[in-house]
Amino acid sequence: MPSFLAEQTSIWYQKNARDLPWRHEGVGAWAILISEVMLQQTPVSRVLTVWQEWIERWPSPADLAAEPAGEAIRAWGRLGYPRRAMRLHECAGEIVRRHGGEVPDELDKLLALPGIGDYTARAVLSFAFGQRHPVVDTNVRRVVSRVHHGVEDRAIGLAEVAELLPLGQSDAALASAALMELGAVVCAARSPRCGVCPVMAECRWKQLGSPQPEKPFRRPQSYAGTDRQVRGLLLAVLRESAAPVPRHRLDLVWPDGVQRERALQSLLADGLVQAQSCDVFLLPDSTPAQ
């Protein structure tokens, strides 16, 4: 059932879409998959440079799979959540071993790959293969919740979004990109730009006076002082060092020895760091995928 929301947003998108390099003609499924993983938790502006480096260095899954995981972690730079880099490396290996080196174009096969969840699998199918799938990230949830239900945070499921997409494959893929773009640049969480919104006239949320949620949703933890920050500091040292790093150099980045050790152990457990000996550490140099 093509909806007013999907149709109007698609028209708007064709005039107002940002010119992002992974949207260019001829960009392959692997490059799009990389972009979606990088964008999972990181703003566009920070992804641009690293994505370009990755696709030039590793234009196919086989190119990435042929290198040690540590190279992916190093090239991830400061994008954050570096387990994504490790999973992308594992993902490349799986694509080579199980799919002949080509990104699969079926939902169940994508969902089975490491680091690929409900959102990313459908984003790749839509944006790389032009298929019709509900691509639901928090932007899309917010847009649909506001426009159709008039509230900030109604639970929006895949089925509901599937129903509002146009029936044609390429029209649906376009609408999915458009809904995400609208949520990102117009129907923003904090500062919505309703004055330029293509669906303002039929937005339930706007009609109701842009009601805020009953519960303001408190964010329990800040980043400063968390294990995540310490892990980031430790990994940065290893990333920027060509040679293995002795423990005493890691001791410099954080004063609390208990937390520092806990962070180091969790990095080892995640496979983001390897111990060369009991007091020397390096990025993983696991043998490339066979």
Catalytic amino acids? 36
CB of 184 vs DNA, minimal distance in Å: 6
Enter the tokens of residue 13: 């998108």
Enter the tokens of residue 97: 């071993």
Q: Which of 48, 236, 253, 282 binds DNA (CB under 7 A)?
A: 236
Q: Which of 78, 97, 98, 249 binds DNA (CB under 7 A)?
A: 78
CB of 137 vs DNA, minimal distance in Å: 3
Asked if 118 touches DNA (CB under 7 A), the answer is: yes
CB under 7 A: which stretch of 20-28, 43-51, 64-72, 207-215 binds DNA?
Answer: 43-51
Q: How many residues bind DNA (CB under 7 A)?
A: 45
Minimum CB distance to DNA smaller for 68 or for 77:
77
Minimum CB distance to DNA smaller for 50 or for 199:
50
Asked if 99 touches DNA (CB under 7 A), the answer is: no
CB under 7 A: which stretch of 9-17, 78-86, 146-154, 279-287 binds DNA?
Answer: 78-86
Asked if 126 touches DNA (CB under 7 A), the answer is: no
Q: Which of 114, 150, 244, 271 binds DNA (CB under 7 A)?
A: 114
Annotate each residue in 205-234 with x if it binds DNA (CB under 7 A) or - if it does not, as one string.
Answer: --------------xxxxxx-xxxx-xxx-
Asked if 40 touches DNA (CB under 7 A), the answer is: yes
Asked if 81 touches DNA (CB under 7 A), the answer is: yes
**SS in 3 state form for the chain?**
CCCHHHHHHHHHHHHHCCCCHHHCCCCCHHHHHHHHHHHCCCCHHHHHHHHHHHHHHCCCHHHHHCCCHHHHHHHHCCCCCCHHHHHHHHHHHHHHHHHCCCCCCCHHHHHCCCCCCHHHHHHHHHHHHCCCCCCCCHHHHHHHHHHHHCCCCCCCCHHHHHHHCCCCHHHHHHHHHHHHHHHHHCCCCCCCCHHHCCCHHHCHHHHCCCCCCCCCCCCCCCCCCCHHHHHHHHHHHHHCCCCCEEHHHHHHHCCCHHHHHHHHHHHHHHCCCEEEECCEEECCCCCCCC
CB of 158 vs DNA, minimal distance in Å: 11
Count CB atoms within 10 A of the CB of residue 90: 20
Please, are residues 47 and 39 in contact by the beta-carbon 8 Å criterion? yes
CB under 7 A: which stretch of 3-11, 96-104, 183-191, 197-205 binds DNA?
Answer: 183-191
CB of 209 vs DNA, minimal distance in Å: 20
Specify the amino acid at residue 240: E
Asked if 133 touches DNA (CB under 7 A), the answer is: no
Instruction: Give the residues across from 245 on adjacent strands.
Output: 281
Instruction: Give the residues across from 280 on adjacent strands.
Output: 246, 277
Residues 269-288 that bind DNA (CB under 7 A): 272
Enter the tokens of residue 124: 């790749």
Asked if 134 touches DNA (CB under 7 A), the answer is: no
> What residue ranges bind DNA (CB under 7 A)?
40-43, 45-46, 78-83, 87, 114-121, 137-139, 184, 188-190, 219-224, 226-229, 231-233, 235-236, 266, 272
